[in-house]
Amino acid sequence: MKTSNLKATPAGKKVAESFPVIEVSHLSKTYGKKSTAFKALDNINLKIFPGESVAIIGKSGSGKSTLMHLMALLDKPTSGTIKVLGINANKLKGKKLNRLRNKYFGFVFQQFFMNANDSVLENVLLPLKIGKISRFKRKKLALKALDIVDLENKAKNKATNLSGGQKQRVCIARAIVNNPKIIFADEPTGNLDSGTGKKIIDLLFGLNKKGTTLIIVTHDEDLAALCDRQIRIVDGEIVKESKQKAGYIRRTAIREGMKEDR
């Protein structure tokens, strides 16, 4: 990427102007057929640039998760296109699609999806196993990811024996073990108390500060305000995209505050 295309945001981050990591055009999604048909998304257009933090915000049922699943290539749109790093994802299938997802994306969900009876280490190295990384290297990378979330000492524990906050930190370790370009987080603090949630938010924005693009789905206005950009969805349509300058100052202040909290 040419550095001449980079533009500094008020937060001091450099964001590439001309080459989106994700580009969504005329995206619609209808669930069900005929009498049960329900249009969950209607003509969504959206560009997300490298290094941005973007909140997709809206009430429950507005279509946030649907949009995230489509952008993360976990589901197919009814119409419209999604480009990931310039690649038209509509044309990808099977192995190629899985490879793209595995290489570039990390996922954090509200429900901390994990293999409960496997060890923490096994859970974290799963994306590397899928990516066919050697046994030695994947253990090393998984331990490094666990170190980042401060859980290296739990590597051998059964995942099921952890607290909610620890489980979500394992999920973050698993999301970053591949060194992804984009992290998708769907209500990442939804099942956590506010103190534990802060730690998760701090980790996610720490990764974003180092350059990972962060896409957070949330109904939490305070969490959304921490992001560079808020995309508001009502009944499957984008109603507002904001770039509030005051938000940057506030966000930085809150982030600094969070660090002191720990």
Ligand X SMILES: Nc1ncnc2c1ncn2[C@@H]1O[C@H](COP(=O)(O)OP(=O)(O)O)[C@@H](O)[C@H]1O
Cα separation, 226 vs 236, whole angstroms: 23
Picked from ligand X, Mg ion, none, the partner binding residue 257 (CB below 5 to 8 A depending on kind) is none
* Total number of residues that touch ligand X (CB under 6 A): 12
Return the number of the residue (31 or 96) whose C-beta is nearest ligand X.
Answer: 31
Alpha helices by DSSP H, listed for the chain, are 64-71, 94-104, 120-130, 135-148, 164-176, 194-209, 221-225, 245-261
**Selected range binding ligand X among 60-68, 117-125, 222-230, 251-259, rule: CB under 6 A:** 60-68
What are the residues whose beta carbons fall under 8 Å from the beta carbon of 86, sequence distance 6 or more? 19
Whole-number minimum distance, CB 82 to Mg ion, in Å?
18
Contacting ligand X within 21-50 (CB under 6 A) = 31-32, 38, 40
Residue 61 binds to ligand X (criterion: CB under 6 A): yes
Query: Is residue 110 close enough to count as binding ligand X by CB under 6 A?
Result: no
For CA atoms 222, 223, 225, 231, give the dihedral sign. Answer: negative
**Partner from ligand X, Mg ion, none binding residue 167, C-beta < 5-8 Å depending on class:** none
Q: The tokens of 62 are what?
A: 């507005």
Q: Which of 97, 45, 55 is nearest to 75 (CA)?
A: 97
By CB under 5 A, tell whether 218 contacts Mg ion.
no
The amino acid sitting at 224 is A
Q: Is 60 an interacting residue with respect to ligand X (CB under 6 A)?
A: yes
Site string for Mg ion, 25-64 (x = CB under 5 A): ----------------------------------------
Residue 66 binds ligand X (CB under 6 A)? yes
| Partner whose binding site includes residue 197, from Mg ion, ligand X, none (CB under 5 to 8 Å by kind) | none
Residue nearest to Mg ion (CB): 65
* Cβ atoms of 227 and 205 closer than 8 Å: no
Provide the minimum distance between the beta carbon of 145 and ligand X in the complex, in angstroms, as a whole number.
27
What is the distance between the alpha carbons of residues 21 and 182, in angstroms, rounded to a whole number?
Answer: 8
In one-letter notation, the amino acid at residue 145 is: A
Regarding 58 and contact with ligand X (CB under 6 A), the answer is: yes
Rule CB under 5 A: choose which of 62, 65, 168, 178 binds Mg ion: 65
| 3-class SS of residue 159 | helix
Phi and psi at residue 60, to the nearest 5°: -60, 135
Contact set with ligand X (CB under 6 A) = 31-32, 38, 40, 58, 60-66
